[in-house]
Structure 1
Amino acid sequence: MVKEEVQQLVNYLIEIEHVSTTLYLAMSAYMDRQDYTGMAKWLRLQSNEERTHMLMLIDYLAGKDGEVKLAEVPAQPSDFGTPLETFQKVLEHEQFVTNAYRQAYEYINPVDPQTGVIVQDFLREQIDEEAQSLTIVQRLKLASNNPAALLVIDQELGQRQDGANAPG
């Protein structure tokens, strides 16, 4: 059985992944409404990836005979601004998630090294999550308000394939 404090922390990480799933889904719907279908697809796949992470954490905790507690997810906005503003919010959110996993790892690893390995795998994946988001933000900044450049970026983001990556 997993220790109570570790269980609470894993449930918190589950909540973060659950919020991430709904946030990216809301962003996807917004981008689709703005006719940025490539950005919408990228965000939808990101939502799916976060859902996969949430399910992995749920399965891990349940497999350790822990109690999974799904918190209520807050409603998400329906307007995220320009593509640049939207992806700046993605980057900020990924930085928040990275920080949450870092803090969880620092606490969990000495207390429960087995769970620490799981959290470390997610933390490693955050390196890529932040890098992707940062690259998109930088490219959108370069595009500025040039419609042709925005459409090229939209098209490129639409090439993303479903890769609900498992950490590790």
Structure 2
Amino acid sequence: MKLSPKMNKTLNDQVLLEASASNSYLAMASWCEVTGYQGAANYFYAQSDEERTHMLKIVHYLNSLGATATIPAIKAPVSSYKSLEGLIKTALKNEQAVTKAIHHMVEIAQKEKDHSTYAFLEWFVNEQVQEETKFETMLQKFDLLGRDKLAIHEIDKLLATNAVSPEADPAA
């Protein structure tokens, strides 16, 4: 099967987006760890691994078709945040950007009648629903529990319970 140049470029653009997301989550994890949010640090280290796994899925897909996967250089992510809540808001915005990019790829696959790529992308569509929901739910916790030190401690503990490495996630 041959990918169109447009689909090839779009998939490679997604490799960059997933690599950037992985790096961003790694920087968030590091900030959390240094700031004393160990639960959040564990959560975002796992998120970083998950995004790298997503990137590799696309690289392997491109390679399986004999297309050229471009391994991108990525710019340094933001590495300092004012609050845990602000960090989670940034993570949600990042996921929303990824969702938009995946939906764009799906539209191209549909327009080009590229059924194989469309089927491949369905997993990512479903994954993004879960990703956005995780961060939206976590942001709701600030409204439910508050923003004082005890509430933030509880949110940090909740993040720790949600930290799942990609190796432990059969869907990843």
Tell me the TM-score range normalised by the shorter chain.
Answer: over 0.9
Partner of 2:119: 117
Is structure 2 residue 70 aligned with structure 1 residue 69? yes
Task: Tell me the residue number matched to 2:17.
Answer: 16
Matched, 1:146 2:144: no
Alignment TM-score, normalising by the size of structure 1: 0.94
Q: Distance in 1 between matches of 2:171 and 2:125?
A: 8
Unaligned 5+ residue runs, structure 1? none
Aligned residues: 168
Query: Cα RMSD between the aligned structures?
Result: 1.6
Q: Which residue of 2 aligns with 1:102?
A: 103
Query: How far apart in 2 are the matches of 1:163 and 1:120?
Result: 22
In structure 1, distance between residues paired with 2:107 and 2:121 = 10
Alignment of 1:152-167 (within 5 A): 152-164=154-166, 165=169
Aligned-residue sequence identity (percent) comes to 26
- 1:22-50 CA distances to partner (integer Å, 9 max, x unpaired)? 00000000011110000111111011110
Q: Which runs of 5+ in 2 are unaligned?
A: none
Worse-matched range after superposition: 156-165 or 39-48 = 156-165
